[in-house]
Amino acid sequence: MSKKKYHYKIKDWTFDPITSELTNGSEKIHLQNQVAKVLIELIKANGQTISKKELLEKAWPNTIVTENSLDKTVSELRKVFGDSRANAQFIETLPRKGYRLIAPLKKVEIENQAIPVIKKGSWLKWGIPLLVLSIVAIIYIFNKNTEAKKILSPNGQIIASIKKDGANYALFTENITNGKVDTLDSFSKPESTVISWSSDNTSIIYNTTLAKTDFYSINVFNLLTKKVSYIKFPKEEGMTFSSLKPQGSPSKSLDHKKLSQRNSTVHYITYENNDTIKVLFNDKKISDFKW
Could you give the residue ranges of the DSSP H alpha helices within the chain? 33-45, 52-59, 67-81, 123-144
Query: What is the pLDDT confidence band of residue 139, given thresholds at 50, 70 and 90?
Result: very low
The packing angle between helices 67-81 and 52-59, to 10°, is 90
Contacts of 278 (CB under 8 A, 6+ apart): 266, 267, 268, 269, 289, 290, 291
Give the predicted TM-score (pTM) of the model.
0.53
**What is the spatial distance between Cα 223 and Cα 111, in angstroms, rounded to a whole number?**
43
CATH class of 3-107: mainly alpha
- With a cut of 70, say whether residue 247 has pLDDT above it: no
- What is the spatial distance between Cα 101 and Cα 174, in angstroms, rounded to a whole number? 26
Q: What is the pLDDT of residue 3?
A: 56
User: In this structure, how many other beta carbons lie within 10 angstroms of the beta carbon of residue 231?
Assistant: 25
Distances (CA, A) of 252 to 245, 246, 249, 255: 7, 10, 9, 10
Report the candidate in 200, 252, 243 with the shortest Cα–Cα distance to residue 219.
243
The Cα–Cα gap between 207 and 190 comes to 7
- E strands present in 153-234: 158-165, 168-175, 181-187, 195-197, 203-207, 215-222, 227-234
* 85-111 mean pLDDT: 89
Torsion of CA 175, 36, 19, 279, to 10 degrees: 80
Residue extent(s) of CATH 1.10.10.10 domains in the chain = 3-107
Q: 178 CB contacts (<8 Å, ≥6 apart)?
A: none
Instruction: Tell me the pLDDT band of 138, cut-offs 50, 70 and 90.
Output: very low
Structure confidence at residue 188 as a pLDDT band (50, 70, 90): very high
Mean pLDDT over each residue of the chain, to the nearest integer = 80
Please give the CATH topology (third level) of the domain spanning 143-290.
Answer: Lipocalin (2.40.128)
pLDDT of the residue at 125: 56
Residue 53 scores a pLDDT above 80: yes
Quote the pLDDT of residue 155: 81
> Looking at residues 227-253, what average pLDDT do you find?
65
The whole-number pLDDT of residue 126 equals 56
Task: Please tell me the predicted confidence (pLDDT) of residue 185.
Answer: 93
| In 107-256, alpha helices (H) | 123-144
Residue 238 has pLDDT above 60, yes or no: no
Task: Report the DSSP pairing between strands 3-10 and 13-16.
Answer: antiparallel
CA-based torsion, 183, 221, 18, 279: positive or negative: positive
Q: Reply yes or no on whether the pLDDT at 111 is more than 70.
A: no
